[in-house]
Amino acid sequence: MSKVSIEPIKPHIGGIVHVGKAHLCDDATVEACRAALEERGVLVFPRINLTDAEQLAFTDKFGERVSFTNSVPGGEGDDDSELYKITLDKEFNSEPEYVLGTWFWHIDGVTIDQPLPKATMLSARKLSPTGGQTEFASTLAAWACLPEEEKAAIADLQVIHRMEASMRPMYVDMPAERLGRYRSMATVMLHPLVWTQASGRKSLVLGTHADEIVGQSLPAGRSLLARLTEWCAQKQFTYSHEWQEGDFVIWNNCGVMHRVVPYDATSGRMMHRTTIMGAERLGHPLKQVQAA
Ligand code: OGA
Ligand code: MN
């Protein structure tokens, strides 16, 4: 009998992985999870209670791990953990605005000039009594279900993504020093709105970092991006995860966007994150494109 089974949550998105911890790193489990991640977008391992070492072992078995601990702002220096701690607790994270950015729809790693991270993995260590559900929207299903004439109208659009755009909700007037920092630490990227992946599947590339549509006025481009985001966020394309402590969730960062419901910043909510490197580049730095 197989040691792993995966149960769909909703027709377009979500899967629950039933596997004993002892079989998590079996070849058959990892293979089943890789395939299911493509199909289901998000996989939930309810109350599996992974230790950091177990999460790292599974991450390394799954793919090439991206080490963020020394590159994500505020994530450096608390200890030598190889896992990034997603928390607003100042003891662990000195720059909370990046974590506050998770309250808005986004795709991880879009403003870094590297292949798009393939998967993000989170273990719930401590929950907030209010909020904190993580919501996922299938950008593959959302594209597939768009009416044909809308697909045709947007198929070739290019979008400029800026980290500062994803930080705007945090300020009325963004201090110049902050703006300079966002500009120096991230890359302004030009990505297709509709991404044709190597598999041949297409997904919408959206999120608060999507700032401008090439060739359109700011209000025209931004209102279209907002409308498409509303389309993706419809119930049929989304799954909202109500966490229990010890849950482990992984998502296909190339096929879903995600956000978290606002939670109590003093709750100590704590998620331990690992990231799997992707193999495909989405777009290019804007400057490189202009110079070419
Ligand atoms: C992330 C993220 C959401 C959450 O880790 O990339 O967006 O629920 N986290 O904390
Ligand atoms: Mn994220």
Task: Supply the mean pLDDT for the chain.
Answer: 94
SS3 94: coil
Nearest-atom index, ligand 1, CA of 273: 5
Residue 19: count of CB within 10 angstroms of its CB:
20
Q: In which band, very low, low, confident or very high, does the pLDDT at 91 lie, cut at 50, 70 and 90?
A: confident
Mean pLDDT of 61-72: 79
User: Residue 98 sits in which domain range?
Assistant: 4-291
The pLDDT of residue 25 is above 60:
yes
| Best mutation site among 55, 71, 86 for ligand 1 pocket (most ligand atoms within 8 Å of CB) | 86
Tell me how far the alpha carbon of residue 155 lies from the centroid of ligand 1, in angstroms: 29
SS3 270: strand
How many angstroms separate the most distant Cα atoms in the chain? 61
The domain tally of the chain equals 1
- State the pLDDT at residue 82: 82
Q: In which band, very low, low, confident or very high, does the pLDDT at 80 lie, cut at 50, 70 and 90?
A: low
Q: In which band, very low, low, confident or very high, does the pLDDT at 287 lie, cut at 50, 70 and 90?
A: confident
| Best mutation site among 71, 112, 134, 275 for ligand 1 pocket (most ligand atoms within 8 Å of CB) | 134
Q: Quick one: CA torsion of 38, 40, 44, 45, rounded to 10 degrees?
A: -60
- State the pLDDT at residue 266: 93
- State the pLDDT at residue 226: 98
- State the pLDDT at residue 2: 78
d(CA 76, CA 83): 11
Mean pLDDT of 73-98: 77
- State the pLDDT at residue 134: 98
| DSSP class per residue in 31-71 | HHHHHHHHHHSEEEETT----HHHHHHHHHHHSPEE--TTT
The pLDDT of residue 1 is above 80:
no
The pLDDT tens digits of the residues spanning 232-282 come to 999 999 999 999 999 999 999 999 999 999 999 999 999 999 999 999 999
The pLDDT tens digits of the residues spanning 186-214 come to 999 999 999 999 999 999 999 999 999 99
- State the pLDDT at residue 290: 59
The pLDDT of residue 168 is above 60:
yes
The ligand 1 site (C-beta within 6 Å) comprises: 86, 102, 108, 120, 122, 134, 258, 260, 271, 273
- State the pLDDT at residue 77: 44
- State the pLDDT at residue 78: 46
Q: In which band, very low, low, confident or very high, does the pLDDT at 95 lie, cut at 50, 70 and 90?
A: confident
SS3 210: strand
Contact 158, 253 (CB under 8 A): no
List the residue whose alpha carbon is closest to atom 1 of ligand 1.
102
Nearest-atom index, ligand 1, CA of 269: 10
Q: Which two tokens stand for residue 244?
A: 């229990």
CATH of the domain at 259: 3.60.130.10
